Chains A and B, each alone.
Chain A
Amino acid sequence: MGTGTRQQTAESVRTPTRAAVRIAGLVKTYPASGRRRHGPGLNLLRGAPRTTDVPGAAGVRACDGVTLDVREGEIFGLLGPNGAGKSTVVRQLTGLMRPDSGTVEVLGHDLVRHPERAARILAYLGQESAALDELTVALAAETTGRLRGLDASAARRERDDVLDELGLTALAGRPLRKLSGGQRRLACVASALVGERPLLVLDEPTTGMDPVARRAVWSALERRRAERGATVVLVTHNVMEAETVLDRVAVLDRGRVIACDTPGGLKAMVGGDVRLDLVWRDRAPLDVPQVAALAAHATVSGRRWTLRLAPEEARAAVDAVTAGRAFAALDDFSLATPSLEDVYLALGGSGEGLVKV
C-alpha cells in the first residue's frame, strides 16, 4: 500500500528514527461549573452516555489516560466523533492546557514543565480562529510569521510562498472575515505554515474545504515532511483524509484511544469483512424470510441498512435481495471493502460524526 512505502523512504532519510511526540497517561477533567466552550447540547444530541458527563456531576473527563507516540517525519491523525476529546489532547500537546496528570514530550522537551517552549518548536492551528478574522489574508500570514520570529523580509517571502502554494494569491488582499468558510480556513492554514517548525499541530485543518483546497493542504504538509522532515499531528473527522494522507491514526472515543495503527493495519482488524449497504424504496420487506434474517444484523438508519458480513455471507445476501419481491422493494445497494468508518464501528464507537466523502 502507498502509505507503507512512502513512510519507509521518509524514515530511511533519518536514522535512528526518534519519537517526535510522546504523550503518556494524559488525564484532563473539565470542572463541572467551568466555562463551556462547546455547549453541552452537542453531546446530548449524540446520545453517547458518558459516566462522568452527568450534569451536575464531578465534571467532564475529556481525556482519560491517553498514551501516544508519534515518530519524526510522520503524518499522524486523531480521528473520532464530536466531543471525543481530540481538541483537548491537542491543546495539552501545545502547552495551552495543563494536564491533570500525564506527560507530554515534544522532540525531547517536557512541555508540561515548560509549556512556554511549545511556541518555539511547534506551529498550532486551532479549531477556531478569531484572532485573524479582521486582517487580510496576506497580513495575517505575514504578521504570524513575524510573531514566529522571522525578520521582515523573511516573513514577506514566506508569506508569498505559502499563499502561492495554497492557491490563495488571488485572495491575498481580502479580509478573512469576508471570505467563505473554506477559504478562511485555508488562510488560517497558510498562517500556521509561515515560519518553519519541526512539528505542526493542526486541529481540523481541512474542515469546510472543497476537494481542491483540501488537496493543496495535504500536499503542502507532505512537502514539509519530505523536504524538511516535519512531523504533523492533525485532527480530522474525515475518513477519506485519514485513509489517504495519514501514516498512522489514533481513534479516540470518550477520552480514550481505542485503536492506533496505520490505516491499513486498522482495516485489517475488521478482518475480511465487507460492508453491504441496502437502501429500500419505502420500507424493508420483512415478510421475505432472508430479509428478516438480515434485519437482525443490520444497523438501520431510515431506509438504509448497513451490514458487516463475511464475503460469502455478503454474496448470499446480495443474491437474496436482488431477486423477487426483495429486489422490487430495493432502491439501491452497494458492497465495499472496509473503511476506517467500519473499523470505528467494529471497535464499539458510536460511528456518528465521522464524515465520509
Chain B
Amino acid sequence: MSTVASAQAQAAQAGRNGTGERAQSGDEPKRGGPAAPAATADAADAATAAATVAPAPLAPRARLWPALAAVYRAQLSRARVARIPLLFVATFQSLGIMVLMRGVVDGGAESRAVVAGSAVLVVAFVALNLLAQYFGRLRAGGGLDHYATLPVPAAAVVLGAAGAYASFTVPGVLVTAVAGGVLYQLPLSGLWVLVAVVPLAGAALAGLGAALGLLAPKPEIATLCGQLGMSAALLLGVLPGGHLPQPVGLLRDLLPSTYGVEALARGFQTRPDWGHAALDLGVCAAVGVVSLALATWAYRRAAVR
C-alpha cells in the first residue's frame, strides 16, 4: 500500500521540480539517486508538455438574454418573498404625501406635479433605495463571487436585478397614480403613459441604485446613499419645479427621475402635450442607458478586486 503512495509522492515531487525555475536544478544531484528521479522528471515534463499544447475546451458562455431572464426570474421571486412589506411602505408613503399636499397646492400644474412625483417616488424607493442596499450587501458578503465565477455577462446580472426591482414597483405606482388622480380630480385617460414611464424611470433609478451599492466602500454607506437619493427624489420630484431656487432647480434637472415625473405630469393634463412628454421620456431613456452602463461598469469593477 505504501509503495503506491510513495511512488505518487515522488512523481508529484518530480512534477513540481519540472515546473519550477531552472535555477533550482543545481540542487538536483544532492537529492537521492541521480538516474531514477531524473527519468521520472522527464516523464512528468513530457506529460505536462502534452497538457500545454492542448488546453481543455472551454464551456460556452451563458448568452445575454437567457442569463438576463434567469437573473430576472430569480430576483423577482426573491423580491416577491422579501420585499412585499416594503412595497406597501413605499405605496403608503406616497399616498400619505398626496393627502398632506392636498391642502397646500391649488390645482392645475401643481397638483399634477404632486401626483406624478408621488407615483415616481415608489419607483425611487424600490429601484434606487432597495437596490442600492441589495448590491451593497451582496458585495460586502462576498456574494458577487458567485456571479463572478459563472460565465455570465455583467450586464445580465445588473439588468436582470434592475429589471426585477423596477417591475416589482408596478402595482405600487398604479395604485398611487390612480388614487392621486381621483384625489386631485385629474383626468386618468392619459395614464397609459405609465407603460413607458415605469420602465424608463425604473431603468434610470435602478441603474443609479445599483451603481451606488456597488461603488460604496461599505454597505452602510450604500444604504445611506440609497436613502439620500430617495429623499432627493421625494423633495425634488413632488415639489413643483417652478418655485424652487436656482441651485435646487439645477439639482432637480440632474435627477433622472425628474423627467419621468414631468412626462407623467403631462399625462394628467386635460389635453396632454405628448410631444413634450416624448421628449422627457427620451431624456429619461438616455439617462437610463447611461446609469445602467455605469452600474455595469461598477459591477465589473467590484467583481474583480
B interface residues, tally (CB under 8 Å): 56
Of all chain B residues, the one with the shortest Cβ separation from A269 is B9
| A181 → B minimal CB distance (Å) | 15
Contact of B149 among A108, A123, A127, A260 (CB under 8 A): A123
Size category of the A interface is: 35 or more
Interface residues of B in 134-152 (CB under 8 A from A): 137-138, 141-152
Interface residues of A in 180-216 (CB under 8 A from B): 195-198
| A4-B48 Cα distance, complex, nearest whole Å | 22
A265-B51 contact, Cβ under 8 Å, with A19-B15, A128-B141, A147-B147: no
| A97-B145 Cα distance, complex, nearest whole Å | 10
| A271 → B minimal CB distance (Å) | 12
- What residues on A are CB-neighbors of B52 within 8 Å? 108
Say yes or no: B146 contacts A149, CB within 8 Å: no
Contact of B19 among A4, A22, A126, A134 (CB under 8 A): A22
Q: Does B58 contact A (CB under 8 A)?
A: yes
Q: Secondary structure at chain A's binding surface: helix, strand, loop or mixed?
A: mixed
Say yes or no: B142 contacts A149, CB within 8 Å: no
Say yes or no: A18 contacts B51, CB within 8 Å: yes
Interface residues of A in 149-193 (CB under 8 A from B): 149, 151-152, 175
Residues 261-283 of chain B, each 1 if its beta carbon lies under 8 Å from chain A, else 0: 00000000000000000000000
Say yes or no: A117 contacts B12, CB within 8 Å: no
Q: Does A132 contact B (CB under 8 A)?
A: yes
Q: Does A304 contact B (CB under 8 A)?
A: no
Contact of A146 among B5, B53, B62 (CB under 8 A): B62
> Number of residue pairs across A and B with beta carbons under 8 Å?
171
- What residues on B are CB-neighbors of A136 within 8 Å? 77
Q: Secondary structure at chain B's binding surface: helix, strand, loop or mixed?
A: helix
Binds A, one of B63-71, B125-133, B204-212, B242-250: B63-71
Q: Does A320 contact B (CB under 8 A)?
A: no
Q: Does A262 contact B (CB under 8 A)?
A: yes
A144-B150 contact, Cβ under 8 Å, with A69-B15, A107-B56, A108-B52: yes
Contact of B5 among A69, A122, A139, A264 (CB under 8 A): A264
Say yes or no: B4 contacts A108, CB within 8 Å: no
Interface residues, chain A, with chain B CB atoms under 8 Å away: 1, 3-5, 7-8, 16-19, 22, 24, 35, 37, 67-69, 91, 94-98, 107-109, 115, 117-124, 126-132, 134-136, 139-140, 142-144, 146-149, 151-152, 175, 195-198, 248, 260-262, 264-265, 268
Closest 9 CB pairs of A and B: A108-B55, A130-B141, A130-B143, A4-B4, A107-B56, A131-B143, A131-B146, A18-B51, A146-B70
Interface residues, chain B, with chain A CB atoms under 8 Å away: 1-2, 4-6, 8-9, 12, 15-16, 19-20, 46-48, 50-56, 58-63, 66-67, 70-71, 73-74, 77-78, 81-82, 137-138, 141-152, 156, 217, 304-305
